[in-house]
Amino acid sequence: MEQVETGAAVRHQQENWDQLEHPADSGLTDDQEPEHDADHDGLGQWGLFGPRTVTWRVHSDPLIGLATLRGLAMQVLHPEGMANVFATARRVDDPWDRLQWSQRHMGAVIFGNSIEAAMTGARLRAVMGQVSGWASDGDEFRGDDEELVLWMHCCQVASFIEVTRRGGLDLTDAEHDAYIQEQVRTAAVWGLEPDQVPATRRDLARYFRRVRPQLRMTHEARAFISSLLSPAVPELIAMTQRNRPSWAPVAGLAWSSLPGWARSMYSSGPGDGAGSLTPSAATVALHSLRDALLVARH
């Protein structure tokens, strides 16, 4: 990645993500931090979580936006899950609109109080309940089917923790497991029963092995990722500006950070730039981008 291009991408992402500020960035000092976390917060001040949870550390990381994008690239590999992704975007060819929608709703659940989290979950379930169609096996499905909601949840959880940790967020293996366990609370907001939801790294890996035979590359999924990595540019602009959009390196990096089995399903990714990085090179790039975003944030 060229330095100038990366710098432009960092500035672009910082401008977009500044509007998604949350309590963790609001200047809370040590003497303001409550003595108890969400588990002991009887008044619901901190909602599902609190400043001392691993969840707040993960979702305060500057790479969380890129991780959300990576989660979307995983979610669309499920043919029925694709319908849920499109249901929450104004345009099916605008992944950035869907990204902002996901960021707003996840922010309300993670950092909002108990009422905000509950209302956000109710809104999401209402939207998903309006999605319906026919699965590849001929059976009718609804967007709020438990298996579909579980797929959406697991893609998000895996992406949030793996991207931020690969990018340099200092978490132990025990804290990694603690994050996944904490996210069972988020799954409950989406309407899932706790015993349905993977609560450890091993459980999450087993889940993906179980569900992979149901996944496939569809025309819609390929169009979605293409609109992310190679967005349509008006002809007049294309004639005067040959460079890729400033967000292209970050979008390509989100694609490169996908697990190997997901990348192989796309069969071919971007031919150059951040989208062509090997897993080890993607990890280095995540470190570099996170460092740059931390500098820009402060």
- Measure the CA–CA gap between 81 and 220, rounded to whole angstroms: 11
For the cut 80, the answer to whether the pLDDT of residue 128 exceeds it is: no
- The runs of H, that is alpha helices, within the chain are 3-17, 54-59, 64-75, 79-87, 95-111, 114-129, 146-166, 173-189, 201-211, 219-229, 235-240, 248-256, 260-266, 279-297
For the cut 80, the answer to whether the pLDDT of residue 92 exceeds it is: no
Reported as a pLDDT band with limits 50, 70 and 90, residue 199 is very high
Task: State percent of the chain over pLDDT 70.
Answer: 65
| Dihedral sign of CA atoms 196, 191, 135, 227 in order | negative
Digit-coded pLDDT (tens) for 109-123: 999 998 999 999 888
**Token pair 């169609």: residue:** 133
Phi-psi bin for 139: left (phi > 0), alpha (psi -120 to 50), beta? beta
For the cut 70, the answer to whether the pLDDT of residue 27 exceeds it is: no
For the cut 60, the answer to whether the pLDDT of residue 237 exceeds it is: no
Beta-carbon contacts of 247 under 8 Å, excluding residues fewer than 6 positions away, are: 9, 12, 13, 96
Q: What's the pLDDT score for residue 87?
A: 60
Looking at residues 165-194, what average pLDDT do you find? 96
- Measure the CA–CA gap between 149 and 83, rounded to whole angstroms: 12
The most confident of 87-96, 122-131, 233-242, by mean pLDDT: 122-131
Residue type, 180: I
Helix (H, G, I), strand (E, B) or coil at 216: coil
Give the pTM.
Answer: 0.78
Digit-coded pLDDT (tens) for 244-287: 445 667 778 888 899 999 988 886 555 556 767 889 999 999 99
Q: Which residue has the higher pLDDT, 176 or 236?
A: 176
In 3D space, the residue among 234, 266, 273 whose CA is nearest the CA of residue 252 turns out to be 273
Reported as a pLDDT band with limits 50, 70 and 90, residue 162 is very high
